Amino acid sequence: MVKKLDQEVKKLSKADKLALLKGEVALINKKYEKKVLTFGHDRETGRIPFKSEELNLITGGGVPSGRFTVIWGAKGSGKTTNCYDLVARAQEQDKVCAWVDIERSFDKTWATLQGVNVDELLVAPAFENAEDVMDTIIRLTKSKAIDLIIVDSVQGLSPVGEQETKKGVEKSLTDDTMALLARKLSQFFRMSSSSVSDSNCTVVLIGQTRTDLGGFIALDRLSGGNALEHWSSLTIHIRRGAKKNAPFVKEVIEVGEKKKKIKKIVGFDMVATINKSKVGPDEGKQCHICFKFGQGITNDALSVDTEEDDN
């Protein structure tokens, strides 16, 4: 009997198989009341651009819509300012944005200086645990009323299990909660990926650097577990470059009875590297961006020796 069925299947032409498959696809999509199966992928991946022209160039136009993006680096490297710029560019495109302020560090003045319309930005500074943050992000994306969500920062998330026992007893800092956040992030990505994609919402997670001291040199690593790196469609590492490449102005100072010309540093060389990209052949690309104190990211040119690696 099985052999007879195999022979009948082999007699079907490709056109016959496609006709049968289209019928099955139609029934399955009707069952779930949406297109869970489709031939090809006809939706274009939109982008929210950065202020930096160089960063747009190496990322293929900015962060992708309907995906997760991770921007990580050490303190003072410009991660948050880049995200303020993303919000400003998104608002220019009439997109609705939210800022999940886990670190309670949102700066209205600095955000406004970067072009953010703070009055139209949804800010969430009062969440007490990671689960509430994650549930809210899922709810916002399911509403399809939000276009960009910035999470500042991933490592600031504190799961309930880190704060109290299952009986509600407050935990001590001596209690072991190893890998708890990583497990919660893994669950969050599994539960939220479909709503993020369906709503075409861009979720940008700011990440902090962990320094590994093994071997002969210190290496920067993105903490937060494997799920964070796995689910990210675009991962960008940002660091400060060499001091010699920093923007400067020339000043004249008096040294005794003489005048001397000096170079006064007015910013730093921001080095951005694409660690991972599922949205283009951009992995490994790097650019240098001019960051000026009191001003932020600019498109001014930098005199950079790209052959020297400076951490």
**Cα separation of 84 and 112, whole Å?**
9
On whether the CB atoms of residues 300 and 290 are closer than 8 A, the answer is yes
- Residue 218: the pLDDT is 55
End-to-end CA gap in the chain: 69
- Residue 54: the pLDDT is 96
- Residue 301: the pLDDT is 85
- Residue 311: the pLDDT is 42
Residue type, 10: K
- Residue 167: the pLDDT is 63
**Cα separation of 61 and 185, whole Å?**
27
Residue type, 119: D
On whether the CB atoms of residues 288 and 241 are closer than 8 A, the answer is yes
Mode of pairing for the β-strands spanning 267-277 and 286-292: antiparallel
Residue ranges and CATH numbers for the domains of the chain are: 1-42 (no CATH), 43-241+270-290 (3.40.50.300)
- Residue 307: the pLDDT is 44
CB atoms within 10 A of CB 257: 5
- Residue 250: the pLDDT is 86
**Cα separation of 207 and 235, whole Å?**
10
**Cα separation of 91 and 148, whole Å?**
9
Instruction: Return averaged pLDDT per consecutive 10 residues of the chain, 311 residues in all.
Output: 56 87 91 85 84 96 96 94 98 98 95 97 92 96 97 90 72 66 93 95 93 61 87 96 91 77 91 94 94 95 53 42
**Cα separation of 13 and 251, whole Å?**
80
- Residue 252: the pLDDT is 75
Total length of the chain: 311
- Residue 221: the pLDDT is 79
